[in-house]
Structure 1
């Protein structure tokens, strides 16, 4: 099968590596000529170009650009698309993407592989990135069932666990477990930097270990991605932030009142329920 990938960064490049290993012919498009050369040299794609015309024979196309450019990329693709081509994206927000793109191309299916690393660019692309990861597809009323079936089969061939839901359900769930943690982590780092005593701040930086590393990791990631999460999933992110603030206020009140029994109960409940959120 001829598969096109627009955007040869971490996700697009990793898709190329795995799909090419399975025997698919991979056609890659990047806005940078240097990225195209690297992608071919590293065996990420069979052919690469800065021209979308390369994808005219592709049966399936993955749009792996930043969220802000997904819709415009689909618009630019349309003149070159095979009439039966299936187009999907990999953005972490679906409400702002799936419906507009489905109206542009009836064979569009919103997608979100929940995999990645803190690295960026073509050099960050790795094999087996999607093994064991969740891969969500968000069809709309315009979506053809056959398109969803094709993409589900491909995602499962990558070792991913596939889920199907509406764009709205996706955005609300992802706000809680992905976008909210980024903002919480960001606030944690900012709170630490707000320490006015220089010696205390320096000591905190020296003592920070695995606990701080784990809770601050997503807040120290790609600023552009965090900003787009907030811009394109604003309402659901705000909903989750208000919910978190309510919970945090409750914890503050418990500690102020020295209600240790209640706090212990909350901590015990969290210990028991956390595994339910780890796939």
Structure 2
């Protein structure tokens, strides 16, 4: 069994700990607050916990589960405590900025992104089995140590996740479309609705909102800090996807303005027939 350290005990770090502890790995958790470390111990997410980064010293594999903008700084802080053979991996949703910085800091680094989450954040909503059946992306480069990659791959496979491997830049372009753009679109939908000038109509719309609105607004109602970090660290790819989305919306607007119902029907039919390629069976 690998000795695991998890730095950052939020939703993802806590969920990793619940699974890896259950599978028999010794798991030490490091949190910013002692209360969080105690909570992780109580719920069985870790076998040892604290706030001292030196607790990573005995780890074979370290998962950095901090916010995106703290990953490199965390790696730099824990590096003096690690053995040279230790592997560091992360769970950040953007890889293009992080991977080069991390490879410069630690030779045995493997970029990772388990694509599972909830609208809520924090250890309290951590869940065993969160990653089962969900994509887990690994983003090795020419500099990646093959042995380190295989160790992280084996752990991800044990979570029953669907493994995927690609270059960091490919990852960022793909997630801009299917993860980061939807957050911005969903948030814009909510804000556009709030622009209704008649309070009575707005109240009625809120009363009538059902599954369609709930589905399309879900990710826009998530944790604002996560959306901001997505945009900040994947700015170029997100702007490209936003531009193309705006163009598509404008085309729909043109068809409706022109009352070109046949063309609109064709566009909606194309969307209907294309959607299954993005949706995996439950």
Q: TM-score range by the shorter chain?
A: over 0.9
Structure 2 residue aligned with 1:239: 240
The answer on 1:138 being equivalent to 2:139 is yes
Instruction: Determine the C-alpha separation between the residues in 2 that align with 1:271 and 1:258.
Output: 21
Instruction: Determine the C-alpha separation between the residues in 1 that align with 2:121 and 2:187.
Output: 19
Instruction: Determine the C-alpha separation between the residues in 1 that align with 2:279 and 2:63.
Output: 27
Instruction: Determine the C-alpha separation between the residues in 2 that align with 1:183 and 1:173.
Output: 15
Write the mapping of 1:76-155 to structure 2, written as runs, cut at 5 A: 76-155=77-156
TM-score normalized with structure 2 length? 0.98
Structure 1 residue aligned with 2:195: 194
Instruction: Report runs of 4+ in structure 1 exceeding 2 Å deviation.
Output: none
Point out where structure 1 has 5 or more consecutive residues left out of the alignment. none
Structure 1 residue aligned with 2:32: 31
Q: Secondary structure at the match of 2:149?
A: helix
Structure 2 residue aligned with 1:163: 164
Instruction: Determine the C-alpha separation between the residues in 2 that align with 1:210 and 1:193.
Output: 18
Q: Secondary structure at the match of 1:154?
A: helix
Structure 1 residue aligned with 2:266: 265
Q: Secondary structure at the match of 1:112?
A: strand
TM-score normalized with structure 1 length? 0.99
Instruction: Determine the C-alpha separation between the residues in 2 that align with 1:68 and 1:84.
Output: 25
TM-aligned CA deviation for residue 145 of structure 1: 1.1
RMSD of aligned C-alpha atoms? 0.7
Q: Residue 99 of structure 1 contacts residue 140 of structure 1 at CA under 8 Å; is this kept in 2? A: no
TM-aligned CA deviation for residue 141 of structure 1: 2.2
TM-aligned CA deviation for residue 272 of structure 1: 1.1
Q: How many residues align?
A: 279
Q: Residue 10 of structure 1 contacts residue 120 of structure 1 at CA under 8 Å; is this kept in 2? A: yes
Q: Residue 103 of structure 1 contacts residue 142 of structure 1 at CA under 8 Å; is this kept in 2? A: no
